[in-house]
């Protein structure tokens, strides 16, 4: 474990000055995982339906750039190269083309994985396995008349049949889903959506809205017993910024725009929303609203519920929206909160007015090492108490810290490797930190240069009181960069009998430590009881701080060699882990949502009356269950 | 420790003839062969809890004082009473000072040395089940551990700490009663060896409760040391397991329920004495001669017992029980989510039921793992043949009882390499203060000369012997209680219909639920177990609707005779309550009243039931009558008063008396 700067070309450094557009460009590269620069700029348009869809980073035919059986872009993945070393392919990410010498050993050591034991995915999607489409002739006839784009293509349908839960990806690799959408439609604008929903009501067709497809709670899974035709309503062609209002600092956008495109396009005008969920390369504004998303930098910009000013949603009963864009209203329960987190059960979000901010002048990463997780949590709690959390602050436990080090690219010079050694010596020997105890916090500061520096000092001073040692900008920066590539790692693991998943919760401060410890222990115990042959990898990080508590994010993976039904075992363990979370005062979800994965606990989470309220809303808005994905209830 | 294990000769294992496969190791054997000083000064590096945050006893106290829990209560009290928080905090500190242990290695070593000497003098063997030690070693490293030994003697906790030290396990901190505080030097020593002190009662003293609970919980949370306490609450004077107390058990489980620890393991420990150090002391106490207040000089006087032989001790460390596993599916931990954890809440109904259940389960495990000695069998037989019997018959019946005990699942330490006669003879030698062999007859000592007239004094003398003898019979009663109650029910019931017998069984089980340990709510299971065991030895036959009992069967007669003193005592107590003319009485009045009543019956020869003199029996009866609503309890200014519902009492007496087998039949069989 080392605390040195990576190769200088590794990541863009933070910058002190620059023109706002340059600055925005550069910043975006960092935050969006160094995706290739945008294609042609689109003119802003107020008449979306007549205008062509804006160019998007993800094409209408998703299969052209995205994997059919894994995370992310086709050209980006972890592989074990001919020398037996791990490598990340492609040029999209800065890690692309780099060798990660420590990763293989880490996998072997942590999981008991071995290069000799491989699993193989199906080579490609077998078109013949796909269940035949149920066709509603009347709906199709009327749909054709509207001129709205649609497809029966098998790949199109399968690509919209799933999110990224372990069981979904595993199913793709080994077999196929029993039920997938029968038809995909691409409305071009709000009015198109209105027409589709009207036709669906008329012909009793089930609609499942589809945004970026990054769900991790089985929200996109088609109910197997759905006898009606299922239409996947893909919002991707509704992806324009309709207008910017610089006086009020708002932007009106179509719900299908994906995070990276939104930030890039706003950045060209010197603005950003600052909403950066880890999935922002693929997820859409509509998806954020429908799942109550949370962004990494919520400390400055807020979570999605703080960011939206106005939402337009098409439901079977009509369009729901507010009559003004005022900042706050006392008009009974906020109708936005029926929409936020509705998970596609009530309608489809078509347009959103969202807050924007000028792109910050200055950004600075940082990191702090703590002797142990307890001290780290105490420090975060104090920072939250003083309400001085930087844009982002994340605390990784020891296992995750070591994991991060396994993902270090090859060191380019003897000098840096010497520096590595020196830092390690300083931390572990001179400062007496136990390498198997210490943990690290990554920080991201944003704002005016002067304020950032002041803020930085304040945070480091607090950290020092809890035994924290500043560990450099580069470690921090690398941590955030890894956020985007870590999602790719599961696909490599699955090649070697490793399966895993992440899950999250939020919990009050006094219970953070107990919850983290108990959940990890519960996972270990359940693995043992379920016959998992190797010790599991379970690790957590505190990813968000609030006045009263924090968001905790877990990774859990294990080597399933010797198990006949690994997915079932995995699911049982995840259920146990969730029960442990709930028993320790954690929430059912902080930002992933409920979907179908966590439905079983919703009643005890929000009480019988709560469920009744949600049901009565559903019954009023969608009495025929047109939006029939069966999430939540 | 490795040396100790390998040096085990396996000598004791061969003697232990029962279902358990565990090897027992005699830890005194090693002590008899090597230096006690070296042993006491050995390198002691116990296996410790993985999450241990080491701290000194003093820091522990400070942590407790500064804890949110205690501070919260201090603030509350300050608001309620208007007293300044500082003064209340000082009070809390005083409580802590009185309570806290001051575990020190030096004291442990001192005890290791002196106890080695004492144990070698007093006992032939101290046998420990090795497998249990291995299980304990493992679990101690993984989770906070609570040791729950049975309590028959003051020796219990010294012995347990001694064993822990011997096996390189962390020495426990022990909850003990404040009665020791009277003995200045001893209490100091005990403190240093890990004892902490709790007042016997602290009803309504919020501060004391908060400080005490937090002290124990802090130890659990920090994994500071295994916590040890006695579920029975106090030493059982009768050798029968006492009904459990729940307070401490619910405290030690609390950190688990609140998620402060992942799990907590309870380890039931059964300590079986072949002969109890305090045997005669207990008999006096049971007869109402007040217990001498613990004093250092009293302890020194006890030195004379050092010259006597007290046989073997078996210490069985049971399977560690995970609180998490026990609670799984029973306790919804959500209930702790909505109130800050430092504010103590009234335990919910389901939690209370759970704690009660666990307590009973622990005691049942203790009972199951008790090692029974041949002497207990001899005492059981002799008690049914007072004042004495032929030696040969005694041997024969003891052998018969040995087989019955085994078939009922009793865990018996019967030397396999000796003849039955030798076994019985060595039991007689061990209990020579109690029974003796004269002219081929074995008699209970303390009896009167045939010709002399019975006086109260003689009754008292005889009662002492009977009660001492009873305490050995009591070591085995829990093995027999279920089949016995079935057998007695089948004699008492209106018919041989299953329901009738079952209802009678439930009645007896309820009446005797303070005498014997029954898991609450499992009457049917107990009944079935009893039936199963009786069927197994072909005493009863179960048809679809009936239970047919062979009334002449030796087992039935034996079981009925074994439990007859309980039935009769309760009848006598009922009779007293129904005769007594005072409308309202205190506990004291009740005790002396019954005592006089029973003495008169004994002097006049109206009864032979000496056990009715036992204070323990009388108190159990009173408390069960209160529970059953037959006697009502009232809180008045200067304590409790009772009032009996005569009609209901008579009803119970009648039920107990119905068709009870006549003495004659019994005597002819045994």
For an interface test with B, the pick among A583, A588, A604, A605 (most B C-beta atoms closer than 10 Å) comes out as A583
Supply angle C-alpha B39, B42, B44, rounded to 5.
125
The nearest CA of chain A is from the CA of B223 a distance in Å of: 14
Contact B593, B579 (CB under 8 A): no
pLDDT digits (tens, 9 = 90+) for A584-604: 999 999 999 999 999 999 999
Whether the per-residue pLDDT at B628 is higher than 60: the answer is yes
pLDDT digits (tens, 9 = 90+) for A183-241: 999 999 999 999 999 999 999 999 999 999 999 999 999 999 999 999 999 999 999 99
Contact A591, A605 (CB under 8 A): no
Partners of B443 in beta bridges: B388, B436
Q: Is A90 left (phi over 0), alpha (psi -120 to 50) or beta?
A: left
Whether the per-residue pLDDT at A539 is higher than 90: the answer is yes
Q: What percent of chain B has pLDDT over 70?
A: 91
From chain B, the residues in CB contact with A512 under 8 A are none
Contact B172, B164 (CB under 8 A): yes
DSSP category for residue A53: P
pLDDT of residue A48: 53
Specify the pTM. 0.88
Q: Which of B262, B334, B341 sits opposite A510 (nearest CB)?
A: B341
Contact B176, B157 (CB under 8 A): yes
φ, ψ (nearest 5 deg) of residue A404: -55, -35
Q: Which of B259, B262, B263 sits opposite A511 (nearest CB)?
A: B259
Residue A578 contacts B, CB cutoff 8 Å: no
pLDDT class of B298 with cuts at 50, 70, 90? low
CA nearest neighbour of A591 among A199, A275, A136: A275
Q: How far is CA A464 from the centre of its chain?
A: 32
The nearest CA of chain A is from the CA of B262 a distance in Å of: 5
In whole angstroms, give the CA distance from residue A598 to residue A588.
Answer: 7
From chain B, the residues in CB contact with A521 under 8 A are 262-263
Contact A236, A58 (CB under 8 A): yes
pLDDT of residue A127: 79
In whole angstroms, give the CA distance from residue B206 to residue B287.
Answer: 36
pLDDT digits (tens, 9 = 90+) for A280-289: 999 999 999 9
E strand or H helix at A383: helix A373-385
In whole angstroms, give the CA distance from residue A223 to residue A180.
Answer: 9
Pick the CATH number of A241-358 from 3.40.30.10, 3.30.465.10, 3.10.20.440, 1.10.10.410: 3.30.465.10
Where do the structural domains in chain A lie, given as residue ranges?
130-237, 241-358, 363-584
From chain A, the residues in CB contact with B341 under 8 A are 510-511
Q: What is the mean pLDDT of residues B64-71?
A: 94
Residue A49 contacts B, CB cutoff 8 Å: no
pLDDT of residue B668: 36
Q: How many other C-beta atoms can be found within 10 angstroms of the C-beta atom of residue A561? A: 18
In chain A, which residue's Cα lies nearest the Cα of B262?
Answer: A518
pLDDT class of B305 with cuts at 50, 70, 90? low
Supply angle C-alpha A156, A158, A161, rounded to 5.
115
| Beta strand extents in B453-500 (DSSP E only) | none
User: What fold is seen in the domain A130-237?
Assistant: 3.30.43
Whether the per-residue pLDDT at B643 is higher than 60: the answer is yes
* Model ipTM over 0.90: no
Whether the per-residue pLDDT at A379 is higher than 90: the answer is yes
Whether the per-residue pLDDT at B14 is higher than 50: the answer is no
Binding site residue list of A: 209-215, 278-284, 291-294, 343-349, 490
Q: What is the mean pLDDT of residues A465-484?
A: 90
Please give the mean pLDDT across all residues of chain B: 88
CA nearest neighbour of B373 among B473, B482, B516: B473
Residue A510 contacts B, CB cutoff 8 Å: yes
Pinpoint the alpha helices (H) of A160-310: 166-174, 190-203, 259-268, 285-291, 298-301, 304-307
Question: How many Cα atoms occupy the beta-carbon half-sphere of B451 within 13 Å?
Answer: 0
Three-state DSSP at A141 gives: helix
Contact B137, B169 (CB under 8 A): yes
Contact A242, A351 (CB under 8 A): yes
Residue A585 contacts B, CB cutoff 8 Å: yes
Contact A447, A360 (CB under 8 A): yes
For an interface test with A, the pick among B139, B222, B259, B334 (most A C-beta atoms closer than 10 Å) comes out as B259
CA nearest neighbour of A345 among A625, A125, A613, A128: A625
In whole angstroms, give the CA distance from residue B344 to residue B213.
Answer: 10
Contact B57, B171 (CB under 8 A): no
E strand or H helix at A385: helix A373-385
For tokens 């080994």, the residue is A174
Partners of B436 in beta bridges: B443
For an interface test with B, the pick among A509, A585, A588 (most B C-beta atoms closer than 10 Å) comes out as A585
| Beta strand extents in A356-427 (DSSP E only) | 357-358, 362-370, 392-396
Three-state DSSP at B613 gives: helix
For residue A91, give every residue at least 6 positions away whose Cβ sits within 8 Å of its Cβ, in sequence order, or none: A36, A75, A97
Residues within 8 A of B (CB atoms), A 83-142 only: none
pLDDT of residue B417: 86
pLDDT digits (tens, 9 = 90+) for B393-410: 999 999 999 999 999 999
C-alpha separations of B429 from A110, B384, B394, B400, B442 in Å: 63, 20, 15, 21, 12
Binding site residue list of A for substrate: 490
Q: How far is CA A361 from the centre of its chain?
A: 26
For tokens 């990890």, the residue is A520
**Is residue A553 annotated as part of the catalytic site, yes or no?**
yes
| Beta strand extents in B544-590 (DSSP E only) | 547-549
**Sign, CA torsion A167/A172/A173/A176:** positive
E strand or H helix at A151: strand A149-151
Residue A529 contacts B, CB cutoff 8 Å: no
φ, ψ (nearest 5 deg) of residue B623: -70, -30
pLDDT digits (tens, 9 = 90+) for A478-494: 888 888 899 999 999 99
From chain B, the residues in CB contact with A606 under 8 A are none
Three-state DSSP at B382 gives: helix
Q: How far is CA B658 from the centre of its chain?
A: 31
pLDDT digits (tens, 9 = 90+) for B476-511: 999 999 999 999 998 888 888 899 999 999 999 999
Q: What is the mean pLDDT of residues B609-622?
A: 94
Query: Which tokens in the block code for residue B36?
Result: 């006690």
E strand or H helix at B640: strand B639-644
The 3-class secondary structure across B423-463, one letter per residue, is: HHHHHHHHCCCCEEEECCEEEECCCCCCCCCCCHHHHHHHH
The nearest CA of chain A is from the CA of B231 a distance in Å of: 28
pLDDT digits (tens, 9 = 90+) for A83-130: 999 999 999 998 998 999 999 999 999 999 888 899 888 888 877 888
Q: Which of A150, A496, A553, A560 is catalytic?
A: A553
Q: What is the mean pLDDT of residues A611-625?
A: 97
How, if at all, do strands B540-542 and B631-636 pair?
unpaired
Q: How far is CA B558 from the centre of its chain?
A: 24
From chain A, the residues in CB contact with B337 under 8 A are 585
E strand or H helix at B541: strand B540-542
Whether the per-residue pLDDT at A432 is higher than 90: the answer is no
Q: Which of B258, B263, B334 sits opposite A604 (nearest CB)?
A: B334
In whole angstroms, give the CA distance from residue A77 to residue B618.
Answer: 80
Partners of B128 in beta bridges: B25, B315
User: What fold is seen in the domain A363-584?
Assistant: Vanillyl-alcohol Oxidase; Chain A, domain 3 (3.40.462)
Question: How many Cα atoms occupy the beta-carbon half-sphere of A580 within 13 Å?
Answer: 29
CB contact under 8 A, B262 and A518: yes
CB contact under 8 A, B259 and A510: no
For tokens 């309590």, the residue is B151
Residue A511 contacts B, CB cutoff 8 Å: yes
pLDDT of residue A107: 93
From chain B, the residues in CB contact with A582 under 8 A are 334
pLDDT digits (tens, 9 = 90+) for B239-252: 999 999 999 999 99
In whole angstroms, give the CA distance from residue A159 to residue B283.
Answer: 84
From chain A, the residues in CB contact with B262 under 8 A are 517-518, 521-522
Question: How many Cα atoms occupy the beta-carbon half-sphere of B650 within 13 Å?
Answer: 6
pLDDT of residue A424: 74
Contact B118, B203 (CB under 8 A): no
pLDDT digits (tens, 9 = 90+) for A120-164: 888 888 778 888 999 999 999 999 999 999 999 999 999 999 999
Residue A604 contacts B, CB cutoff 8 Å: yes
Three-state DSSP at B209 gives: helix
pLDDT of residue A42: 41
Binding site residue list of A for FAD: 209-215, 278-284, 291-294, 343-349
CA nearest neighbour of A374 among A399, A395, A390: A395
């Amino acid at each position: 474990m080392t605390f040195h700067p990576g190769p200088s070309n590794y990541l863009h450094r933070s910058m002190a000055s620059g023109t706002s557009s340059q600055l925005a460009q550069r910043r975006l590269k960092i935050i969006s995982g160094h995706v290739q620069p945008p294609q042609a700029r689109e003119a802003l348009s107020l008449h979306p339906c007549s205008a062509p869809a804006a160019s998007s980073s993800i094409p209408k035919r998703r299969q052209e750039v995205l994997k059919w059986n894994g995370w992310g872009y086709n050209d980006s993945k972890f592989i074990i190269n001919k020398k037996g070393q791990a490598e990340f392919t492609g040029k999209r990410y800065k890690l692309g083309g780099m060798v990660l010498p420590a990763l293989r050993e880490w996998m072997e050591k942590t999981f008991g994985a071995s290069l000799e034991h491989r699993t193989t995915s199906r080579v490609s999607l077998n078109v013949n396995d796909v269940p035949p489409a149920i066709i509603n002739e009347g709906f199709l006839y009327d749909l054709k008349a509207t001129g709205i784009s649609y497809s029966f293509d098998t790949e199109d349908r399968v690509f919209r049949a799933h999110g990224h839960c372990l069981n979904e990806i595993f199913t793709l690799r080994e077999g196929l889903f029993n039920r997938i959408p029968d038809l995909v439609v691409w409305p071009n604008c709000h009015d198109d959506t209105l027409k589709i929903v009207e036709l669906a009501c008329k012909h009793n067709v089930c609609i499942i809205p589809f945004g970026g497809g990054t769900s991790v709670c089985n929200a996109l899974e088609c109910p197997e017993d759905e006898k009606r035709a299922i239409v996947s309503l893909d919002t991707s062609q509704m992806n324009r910024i309709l207008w910017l209002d610089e006086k009020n600092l708002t932007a009106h956008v179509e719900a299908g725009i994906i995070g990276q495109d939104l930030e890039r396009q706003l950045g060209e005008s010197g603005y950003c929303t600052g909403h950066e969920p880890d999935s922002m390369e693929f997820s859409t504004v509509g998806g954020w609203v429908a799942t109550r998303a949370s962004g990494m930098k919520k400390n400055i910009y807020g979570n999605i519920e703080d960011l939206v000013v106005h939402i337009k949603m098409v439901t079977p009963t009509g369009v729901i929206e507010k009559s003004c864009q005022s900042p706050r209203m006392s008009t009974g329960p906020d109708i936005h909160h029926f929409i936020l987190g509705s998970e596609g059960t009530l309608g489809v979000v078509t347009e959103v007015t969202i807050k924007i901010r000028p792109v910050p002048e200055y950004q600075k990463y940082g990191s702090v090492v703590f002797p142990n997780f307890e001290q780290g949590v105490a420090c975060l709690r104090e920072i939250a108490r003083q309400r001085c959390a930087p844009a982002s602050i994340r605390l990784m436990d020891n296992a995750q810290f070591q994991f991060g080090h396994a993902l270090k690219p090859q060191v380019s010079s003897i000098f840096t490797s010497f520096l590595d050694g020196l830092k390690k010596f300083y931390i572990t020997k001179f400062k007496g930190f136990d390498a198997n105890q210490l943990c690290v916090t990554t920080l991201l500061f944003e704002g005016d240069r002067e304020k950032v520096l002041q803020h930085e000092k304040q945070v480091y001073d607090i950290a020092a009181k809890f035994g924290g040692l500043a560990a450099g900008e580069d470690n921090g920066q690398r941590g955030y960069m890894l956020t985007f590539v870590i999602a790719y790692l599961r696909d490599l693991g699955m090649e070697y009998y490793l399966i895993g998943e992440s899950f999250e919760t939020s919990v009050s401060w006094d219970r953070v430590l107990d919850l983290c410890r108990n959940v990890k222990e519960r996972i270990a115990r359940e693995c043992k009881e379920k016959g998992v042959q190797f010790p599991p990898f379970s690790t957590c990080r505190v990813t968000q701080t609030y006045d009263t508590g924090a968001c905790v994010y877990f990774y859990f993976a294990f080597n399933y060699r010797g198990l006949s039904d690994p997915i079932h075992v995995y699911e049982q363990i995840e259920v146990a882990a969730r029960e442990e979370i709930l028993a320790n005062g954690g929430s059912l979800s902080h930002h992933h949502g409920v979907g179908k994965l966590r439905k079983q606990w919703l009643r005890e989470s929000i009480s019988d009356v709560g469920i009744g309220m949600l049901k009565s809303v559903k019954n009023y808005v969608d009495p025929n269950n047109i939006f029939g994905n069966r999430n939540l209830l | 420790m490795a040396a100790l294990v390998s040096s085990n000769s396996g000598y004791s294992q061969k003697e232990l003839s029962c279902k358990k496969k565990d090897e027992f190791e005699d830890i005194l054997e090693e002590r008899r062969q090597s230096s006690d000083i070296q042993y006491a000064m050995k390198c002691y590096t116990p296996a410790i809890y993985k999450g241990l945050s080491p701290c000194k006893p003093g820091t522990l106290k400070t942590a407790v004082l500064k804890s949110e829990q205690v501070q919260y209560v201090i603030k509350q009290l300050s608001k309620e009473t208007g007293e300044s928080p500082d003064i209340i905090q000082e009070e809390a500190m005083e409580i802590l000072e009185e309570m806290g242990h001051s575990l020190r290695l030096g004291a442990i070593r001192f005890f290791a040395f002196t106890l080695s000497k004492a144990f070698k003098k007093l006992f032939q063997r101290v046998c420990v089940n090795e497998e249990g030690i291995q299980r304990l070693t493992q679990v101690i490293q993984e989770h906070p551990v609570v040791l729950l030994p049975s309590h028959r003697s003051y020796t219990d906790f010294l012995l347990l700490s001694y064993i822990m030290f011997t096996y390189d396990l962390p020495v426990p901190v022990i909850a003990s009663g404040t009665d020791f505080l009277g003995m200045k030097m001893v209490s100091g020593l005990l403190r240093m060896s890990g004892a902490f002190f709790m007042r016997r009662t602290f009803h309504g003293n919020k501060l004391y409760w908060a400080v005490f609970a937090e002290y124990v919980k802090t130890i659990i949370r920090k994994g500071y040391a295994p916590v040890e306490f006695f579920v029975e609450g106090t030493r059982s004077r009768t050798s029968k397991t006492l009904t459990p107390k729940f307070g401490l058990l619910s405290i030690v489980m609390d950190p688990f329920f609140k998620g402060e620890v992942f799990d907590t393991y309870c380890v039931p420990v059964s300590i079986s004495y072949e002969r109890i150090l305090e045997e005669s002391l207990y008999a006096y106490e049971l007869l109402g001669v007040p217990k001498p207040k613990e004093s250092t000089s009293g302890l020194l006087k006890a030195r004379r017992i050092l010259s006597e032989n007290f046989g073997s001790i078996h210490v069985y460390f049971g399977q560690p029980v995970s609180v998490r596993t026990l609670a799984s599916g029973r306790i919804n931990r959500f209930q702790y989510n909505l109130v800050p954890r430092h504010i103590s809440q009234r335990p919910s109904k389901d939690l209370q039921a759970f704690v009660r259940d666990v307590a009973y389960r622990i005691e049942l495990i203790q009972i199951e793992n008790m090692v029974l000695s041949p002497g207990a069998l001899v005492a059981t037989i002799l008690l049914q043949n007072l004042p004495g019997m032929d030696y040969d018959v005694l041997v024969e019946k003891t052998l018969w009882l040995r087989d019955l005990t085994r078939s009922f699942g009793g865990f018996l330490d019967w030397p396999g390499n000796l003849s039955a006669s030798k076994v019985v003879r060595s039991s007689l030698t061990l209990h020579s203060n109690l029974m003796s062999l004269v002219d081929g007859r074995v008699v209970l000592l303390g009896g009167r000369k045939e010709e002399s007239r019975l006086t109260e004094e003689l009754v008292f003398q005889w009662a002492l012997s009977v009660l001492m003898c009873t305490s050995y019979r009591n070591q085995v009663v829990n093995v027999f209680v279920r089949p016995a109650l079935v057998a007695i029910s089948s004699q008492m019931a209106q018919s041989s219909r299953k329901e009738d017998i079952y209802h009678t069984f439930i009645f007896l089980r309820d009446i005797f639920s303070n005498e014997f340990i029954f898991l609450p709510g499992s009457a049917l299971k107990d009944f079935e177990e009893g039936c199963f065991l009786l069927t197994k030895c072909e005493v009863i036959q179960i048809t679809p609707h009936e239970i047919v009992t062979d009334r002449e069967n030796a087992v039935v007669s034996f079981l009925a005779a074994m439990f007859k003193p309980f039935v009769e005592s309760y009848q006598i107590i009922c009779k007293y309550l129904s005769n007594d003319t005072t409308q309202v009485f205190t506990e004291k009045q009740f005790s002396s009243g019954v005592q006089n009543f029973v003495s008169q019956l004994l002097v006049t020869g109206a009864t032979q039931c000496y056990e009715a003199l036992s204070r323990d029996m009388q108190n159990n009866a009173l408390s069960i009558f209160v529970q059953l609503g037959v006697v009502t309890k009232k809180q008045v200014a200067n304590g409790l008063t009772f009032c009996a519902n005569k009609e209901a009492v008579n009803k119970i007496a009648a039920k107990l008396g119905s068709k009870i087998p006549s003495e004659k039949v019994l005597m002819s069989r045994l």
